[in-house]
Amino acid sequence: SQPLMTGKRGLVMGVANDRSIAWGIAKAVHAQGAELAFTYQGDALKKRVVPLAEATGSRIVLPCDVTDDASVDAVFDELQDKWGGLDFVVHAIAYADKEELKGKYLNTSRDNFLRSLDISCFSFTTICRRAAALMNEGGSLLTLSYYGAERVMPHYNVMGVAKAALEASVRYLAADLGEQNIRVNAISAGPIKTLAASGIGDFRYILRWNELNSPLRRNVSIEDVGGAGLYLLSDLSSGVTGEVHHVDSGYNVIGMMAVDAASD
Ligand code: NAD
């Protein structure tokens, strides 16, 4: 049988390096025959992203800062030009000022609140609108969330609020775009050591906690997330939209692990 993603073209936004969650998803869909375009945020990341993109045979690698409408427009203009259509988008972009990813949420500044919500939530909405205009035969839009949207996690602060808004927007976007057979979903990934995560206070402790307190008793990898991403971006998930799918070793279902769990 044919690879799952044969004939599908997708845009991957949010690769910073080979530890990025976006890269885990890109690898999985590329292995199943998808043709990919990539964006990178600014020149500093260009030299990391270009070789990764080339390794997938990608011929479209463009700068994009989601706070700059002109750069977002330029990406979709290029896709219209080169491909004339689009089947899926991976949105793996988030930002909050590092200084406010420690201490209390209570002290969030207005500037950081607005910037975090703009980059981490609104950008997905505006990208979905532009992508949908290119999706002539339906499509799949995917973003990345975290359990801090649902429950309080240490130091996640304004990012938790932004992810809650992002998860709500997944549901509204799914309703808006369903008629066009465009599906909108999120993966809520367990903690993974990436560039973005290194900004979160006590991240190593969070990793250890998740490992000890999740049913699988391990942390997830970008390959774990890649597998779920492949499912949500392919026709395997043709009946799934508006969903927040946890890829977290089952951590979210646990109220409390047995006392001896850590020593098993
Ligand atoms: P990462 O640092 O590899 O990726 C974050 C990306 O966001 C980078 O490529 C960065 O360039 C991009 N970005 C930030 N601001 C941008 C802007 N203004 N314009 C364009 N791009 C911008 O880290 P990651 O952990 O792979 O993060 C990807 C997504 O996964 C994020 O949404 C993150 O919140 C989410 N997530 C991460 C974890 C984790 O533990 N690492 C867990 C759950 C969800």
Give the tens place of pLDDT for each residue, 34-82: 999 999 999 999 999 999 999 999 999 999 999 999 999 999 999 999 9
Beta carbons within 8 Å of 126's beta carbon, 6+ residues apart: 66, 69, 72
- Predicted confidence at residue 259, as pLDDT, reads 82
| CA-proximal residue: ligand 1, atom 34 (nearest) | 94
Instruction: Answer for the pair 1, 230: CB distance below 8 angstroms, yes or no.
Output: no
Q: Is the pLDDT of residue 262 over 80?
A: no
66 assigned binding-site residue: yes
**Beta pairing partners, 142:** 90, 185
Q: Decide if 100 contacts 107 (C-beta within 8 A).
A: yes
| Total H helices, total E strands in the chain | 8, 7
> Is 156 noted as a catalytic residue in this protein?
yes
Tokens linked to 152: 């309080």
193 CA: nearest ligand 1 atom: 41
d(CA 225, CA 220) in angstroms, rounded, equals 7
Global pTM value: 0.98
Mutate to test the pocket of ligand 1, among 12, 25, 41 (most ligand atoms within 8 A of CB): 41
Helix (H) or strand (E) holding 168: helix 157-177
200 is in an annotated binding site: no
The average confidence (pLDDT) of the chain is 96
Q: Looking at the predicted structure, is the pLDDT value of residue 264 above 70?
A: no
Question: Mind listing the domains of the chain with CATH numbers?
Answer: 9-249 (3.40.50.720)
At 260, list the tokens.
């001896």
Distance (Å) of CA 53 to CA 20, 22, 26, 37, 151: 13, 11, 9, 8, 35
Q: What is the pLDDT of residue 1?
A: 84
Interface predicted TM-score (ipTM) over 0.95:
yes
Residue whose token pair is 């890829």: 247
- 261 pLDDT band (50/70/90 cuts)? low
Residue 220, annotated as binding a ligand: no
Asked if 95 is an active-site residue, the reply is: no
Query: Of 255, 250, 244, 1, whose CA–CA distance to 146 is shortest?
Result: 244
Confidence check: pLDDT of 26 > 90: yes
Pocket test residue of 18, 21, 41, 49 for ligand 1, highest count of atoms within 8 A of CB: 21
Q: How far is the CA of 137 from the centre of ligand 1 (A)?
A: 29
Question: What is d(CA 17, CA 9) in angstroms, rounded to the nearest whole number?
Answer: 21
